[in-house]
Amino acid sequence: MRRAVFPGSFDPLTLGHYDIIKRGVTLFDELVIAIGINADKKYMFSLEERTKFIEEAFKDEPKIKVMTYEGMTVDFCKKIGATFILRGLRNPADFEFEKAIAHTNRKLSEIETVFLLTSSGKSYISSSIVRDVIRNGGDYTGLVPDTVVANF
């Protein structure tokens, strides 16, 4: 059973995340989308809203599960028996940041991180840009899955 974890804040789920999840799920038997809870972080959407956005987007995908976790991602992986972490790469800044985390996770565990490159046309999309557009009353609907718009 090849179980992978796709960790993130998903505040909110974007078309960038959606693309990585759709492509990533083909590589594993089960993909757990894991919403990290960080008490020090201020979120625009509640944990319930973020969970709902993802559950609705993938309700027809039996291999995809949605869970929440606190603490280190590798500890969560061990707890649920996941041996892979899935991450997306948009640009060189992502690469440098993700490289340090992946090396650290390797030092702490046997868990492998698998990277998928963003699809062309999606590399500029981030949750923080979507939040900025929403805060300023702009049209965010082309940046997120339809299910996010429907449950907004």
Angstrom distance (rounded) from CA 110 to CA 113: 10
Stretch that binds ligand ADP, among 49-57, 102-110, 123-131, 144-152 (CB under 6 A): 123-131
Catalytic residue among 9, 50, 87, 127: 127
Active site includes 103? no
Angstrom distance (rounded) from CA 63 to CA 66: 10
Burial class (CB in 10 A: 0-12, 13-18, 19+), 50: buried
Name which position in 127, 140, 143, 147 contacts ligand ADP (CB under 6 A): 127
Give the number of other Cβ atoms within 10 Å of residue 85's Cβ: 24
- 131 is a site residue for ligand ADP (CB under 6 A): no
- 20 is a site residue for ligand ADP (CB under 6 A): yes
- 30 is a site residue for ligand ADP (CB under 6 A): no
Q: Which residues contact 33 (CB under 8 A, 6 or more apart)?
A: 6, 8, 10, 21, 54, 58, 64, 65, 66, 67
Binding mask 67-96 for ligand ADP (x = CB under 6 A): --------------------xx-x---x--
- 50 is a site residue for ligand ADP (CB under 6 A): no
In Å, the largest CA–CA distance within the chain is: 45
Catalytic residue among 3, 63, 90, 122: 90
Phi, psi values for residue 96, rounded to 5°:
-60, -45
Question: Would you tell me which residues interact with ligand ADP (CB under 6 A)?
Answer: 8-10, 14, 16-17, 20, 87-88, 90, 94, 118, 122-123, 125-127
Active site residues: 17, 41, 90, 127
